[in-house]
Structures are given as C-alpha cells and as structure tokens.
C-alpha cells in the first residue's frame, strides 16, 4: 500500500496535531440501568474461591507441605482469573462490564438474605477493585458490580451444588443501544 498521501497530509500544519485515537468515555451507571438499556453480549463465568464469609482475594491460609507450615493463597489462581477478566475488558473496550457476585445457599434460612447479598456484592466489588489496581489502563467507570447472593444458582437443577454456586460472573453489555 502507498501511504505517501497520508504522510504528506500529516506533514501539513493543519493536520500536524491530529491524532488517530478512538477513546470511550464511560459515565457511572447502575447495573439495573445497564441491563434495562440493552441485552448482554457475553457472559463469562469465572471462579474465584473465596474463604468462607470473606471477600479478600489475597486471603492466605497455613498449609502443611513437606512437614512444614507454609502460608499460601486460599485461591492461588486469583491472578490468572483477574488477567482473564482484564483481557475480556480490553477485547470489549467499548462495552460495559458487569461483575456479579454469587454465593451458595448453604446458610439459607439461617442468615438474612440481605446479609448474603452484601457478601456477594463485596466479593464483586473486591474483584473490580483488584482489577483496577492491577491493570491501570482499565477505566473504573467501565465496570459495575452487583451482589445477587443465592438468588441465581449456576444450575437451577442443581441449586445445592455449593462449589458451583460460589462464583463471579462477568457480563459484557454494549455501551449504548444503536
């Protein structure tokens, strides 16, 4: 291809300060608003194992390895999962990303639903915060979070599969409906 014309125009004073950039500006929106405006493009289920009743992604535990106590991450795959979400956000750079936290129903009837939703919301918020802290190029306003608690099991036919239901779902929505 011959780019000489483009190079010639780029050298002219009136085009000297022009930039070939595409940028998206996100305004904060609630998850409910995002869902009402348009249908999701993609749902990605990612699994981060949280310590019971915790939303700390960096939670460590003591494990016996070779007869010694060793401090290890409760979920050693957290960084890989965060990287996967960051890649997804970059791939859909002009889309809104919703992070939904879910819990299992093991305490159903024993603790208030609001408390469980708060735990799920804190887990989703922890994922968002970790993403933004680790990947500085991500726009915090691109992400919204919600805690759904045990209301939406991963498999409606297997609601008691606690491990399957303790999850975070990442959903991608178009920036705006055309």
Is residue 98's pLDDT more than 80? yes
The dihedrals phi and psi of 127, each to the nearest 5 degrees, come to -65, -45
* C-alpha to C-alpha distance for 69 and 61, rounded to whole angstroms: 10
pLDDT one-digit tens code per residue, 26-70: 878 888 888 888 888 888 888 888 888 889 999 999 999 899 999
pLDDT for 115: 95
Multiple choice CATH, 21-174, 3.20.20.210, 3.20.20.70, 3.40.50.800, 3.30.1330.60 = 3.30.1330.60
pTM of the full predicted structure? 0.79
- In what helix (H) or strand (E) does residue 81 lie, and over which residues does it extend? helix 78-91
**44 closest CA partner among 79, 94, 106, 86:** 86
* C-alpha to C-alpha distance for 171 and 77, rounded to whole angstroms: 20
**20 closest CA partner among 43, 40, 3:** 3
In this structure, are residues 75 and 48 in contact, taking their beta carbons and an 8 Å threshold? Answer: yes
- In what helix (H) or strand (E) does residue 78 lie, and over which residues does it extend? helix 78-91
pLDDT for 41: 84
pLDDT band for 17, please (50, 70, 90 cuts). confident
In this structure, are residues 150 and 104 in contact, taking their beta carbons and an 8 Å threshold? Answer: yes
């Amino acid at each position: 291809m011959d780019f000489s014309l483009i190079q010639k125009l780029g050298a002219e004073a009136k085009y000297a300060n022009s930039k070939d950039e595409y940028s998206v500006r996100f305004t904060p929106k609630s998850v409910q608003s995002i869902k009402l405006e348009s249908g999701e493009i993609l749902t990605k289920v990612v699994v981060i194992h949280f310590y019971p009743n915790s939303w700390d992604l960096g939670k460590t535990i003591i494990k016996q390895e070779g007869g010694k106590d060793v401090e290890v991450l409760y979920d050693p795959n957290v960084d890989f999962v965060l990287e996967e979400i960051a890649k997804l956000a970059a791939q859909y750079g002009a889309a809104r990303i919703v992070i939904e936290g879910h819990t299992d129903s093991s305490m159903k009837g024993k603790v208030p639903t609001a408390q469980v939703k708060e735990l799920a919301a804190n887990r989703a918020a922890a994922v968002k915060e970790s993403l933004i802290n680790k990947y500085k190029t991500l726009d915090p306003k691109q992400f919204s979070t919600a805690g759904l608690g045990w209301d939406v099991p991963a498999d409606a036919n297997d609601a008691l599969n606690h491990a399957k239901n303790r999850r975070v779902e990442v959903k991608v929505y178009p920036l705006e409906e055309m």
